[in-house]
Structure 1
Amino acid sequence: MKQFPRKEVSIIILFLLTCRGLNLSVLNVVSNVMVWHKAFNYCRNDSSDAAAVAAVNQLMLKLNISGKDNFCTDLSFYEVKWQWSNKDEVTYSNWKRDFFCGFVQSDGTWNDSVCYDQKPFMCYQENSNINERYVWINSRMNWSSAQNYCQVNYTDLVSIRNENENQQIMEKAQGSPFWIGLFNNPWKWSDGENSIFQIWTQNQPDNYLRNEACVEILSDGSWNDDFCGKKNYFFCTNKSKVTTSFDLVEYSLSWLDAQRYCRANYTDLMTVENQTENQKLQKPPQDQGYWIGLSHENDNWQWSNKSPLTYTNWRREFSCAVLQSDGSWNDSDCSEEKPFMCYNEMEYIRTYIWINERMNWTRAQNYCRMNYKDLVSIRDESENEEIRNKAQNSPFWIGLFNNSRKWSDGDKSTLTSNSNQSQLPDNEQHPENCTEVKINGCCVITQYSTEKHLICSQVGWNVTLVNDSSTWEEAVDYCRNKNSHLISISSEMEQNTIATLVNTTKSSSVWLGLRQSRVFGFWFWTDEMPLSYQNWTSGSPPQISFSNHCAVISKDNNFLWASVSCLEKHPFICRSPLISN
């Protein structure tokens, strides 16, 4: 293997999360410039892995270990993983897509599009030979033509039942987006009828400007989706057990007002059962439309071949979820400021608290956790409706977020530090798949193709911050019961690292594993590490004979060490060697 010249500096890095096990890693800076995948392979071949760096941004500013402006770590997009803030299992979702036909993108995720777009497509045929099951068609057609082609020549457009099939189909394709057999029929009749008759005009529906959810009949008898606030004449229907009649109401109203009018004076807005009924309707003048009772409600994605929809792989652009005024969900930039919904839970009974203050997602989460239980999680349709009714008709944060980033060594990313204070990346306008750590104190995301210096890591220690206030002896006992020791600090680099951790607590002080001998007055670490590094407020260790004094790291004193009574109560940090598999 080719050996690159290296400038190596060992520092301690910690991956921070209160009351959870944290890995400390010894890092080696490699001063070669290379793209992400080459950095990944280099670190693999060098018997380590690209750095699992979370708090490194604060440390690098102090250490300036390389003289370079930024480094690329191995945090990258692997899979979409939506989670509830309170750790509830995600058993229900209500995402809303914009369009009506599904396709696979070049990265394997799915997206939706207007169905008249021209794309290549993937057919399938029932065949025991997996290599012959999927058939790539490199001709560009709209979705309906592609479906018809597959049904005539093979079985149908492909359906995808799991991640393994998704990957196999991707390998058959040739690097461009292609149609699959997924389509969305979200259209519902106002009166609840199940009529499947639809007669759209050319290239419709298109949800133009993502703002067309109501249906009008045009002068030629075909249908068009349009903005629901548009003022149109409309058809009402009267239904009895024996007869059904309809009238054109010549008042210009929005779709919703037309629905109210029909329900007050007739039965409902009109449901069109078939072509014969459609032909009987009085047609509007050219360039006008009349409302009928069809509108876009909850998404209803189905496979063309009628297979059950057991797996999806939708791509979403952002990392935090909002509940919209119609009850559907959407993703949003976590740094945007919105109102939000908290919840409390007492004896398995949940109450919902509407907070009509605008905050970004992370601040909203913190507010809910400090004052209530957490940001709201939603477990079924009835909860979704109850929560929507508590809100005030505007989009608001819920506790759902997407942690789609994973370290190349298999660790899950549970903390990042972004300059926009949202904790979660925005992925705005372009694909951002590799994490970069800047010396100026923030982590940003950069593309795989951008060349950066890299950091390789070797895992060495496991660190746990315990936020329960305890006496020094209680803290020692707790750590020993966990086969660890109260934290010791042997260098300025370790001091800076622990200071980063301490800075996240609400407490002004955190116990160190450092105590003064009651008899002789000298200070010692409980893990028997030599006292080779010290950082006292007084500049030197206090000498108080026959005392019961222990050391804390003091946030109020710039993270210097102070001598206090061992009977005081503070949070503490345990540290243990990480046992490698």
Structure 2
Amino acid sequence: MFSMILVEIVFCATYSQQSTTMMGRTLLGVLCLSGWNISSCLSLQYHYVADPKNWTEAQTYCREKYTDLATVETPEEMKQLNKTVLSSGINLEVWIGVYRKLWKWPDNYTNSGAEYRNWRNNNRIINYDFKCYVLFHNGEWYGHDCINAESFICYRGSQQNPEFVYVSVKKNWSSAQRFCRENFIDLATVKNHSENQNIQSLVPEYTYSWIGLYWDPDTYWSDGSGSSFRWFSYGYGYTLHPMSEVCGAADLENSGRWWLLNCETKCPFVCYSVRSSVVKRQVIKLRMKPENSSMDLNDPAVKADILNELQDRLKKNGLSGVTLKWREQPDGKVFHKERKMSKKKKKREKTEL
């Protein structure tokens, strides 16, 4: 039976404020999730700004003065944000970095005319359940359930100079899109009143036809973070304004729960920054059981091999940017055989626990 050996490892994780500091945030987040005993995993700081601005103005301000509008990746960070704002004596809605692009075209068209809409009666509220859009024979656009079977409009040519094609076969929205992509370019993107009239002339009287516009269910972060953490208030999106984009605000009267508001609303806001240099240092004790009892673990070459193996295991688990090193004991050695603990000492340690 080989003796157990005690060894101490010191690791340091450092990063600089580059690439929008995302590498450092990700590293510390992985360290926490991997079970490393870090004294603090909150690498960012929130900054409350009382001057009301619309969301885009707030975003510009945060990028100039700090890093970006606040991104929140964990419940702990949400608590930290709430504490930052409430410590200023404020209990209002504040902009954070989350936003939603409500409506998209299936070919991802975002250039001139992408914002064109011809809602029925210029409706200002769109039913949450209707996530795909059809053009009626009179040229008005209606929200429609995506699973309904309707005729549809494809286009060929180019985005700038499309040729619209009416398909009378009725399909649900997804099937219609697949048909258009297999036989033409895509479902129709409608960029202006002239194109809308062109399509209107193709649609038979009292007929609905699918166009490409659809509701995007995803939300995004201003800094491009891939954080999946969400803290929306129940019912936040059951009615949606037919604007192209809505922006997230944390409601401090409701535990910081998020709402989606008109991005032009003037609100105070929260920015975030990441410390320019953060070092996390932790000493870990390991018990190692060598397969060969004759192996000298204090041999420099053996110590280097073990350290490289540990480093490789961290990398395989997605932990890059971590430096490992051995901590030498007062006698200059790293490894020492573990002494057998007396029954009396074991009993005392058990009592202390």
TM over 0.5: no
Task: Say which structure is richer in helix.
Answer: 2
Per the shorter chain, which TM-score range? 0.3 to 0.5
Please report the TM-score for the alignment, with normalisation by the length of structure 2. 0.42
Please report the TM-score for the alignment, with normalisation by the length of structure 1. 0.28
Which of 1 and 2 has higher RCO (CA within 8 Å, sep 6+)?
2
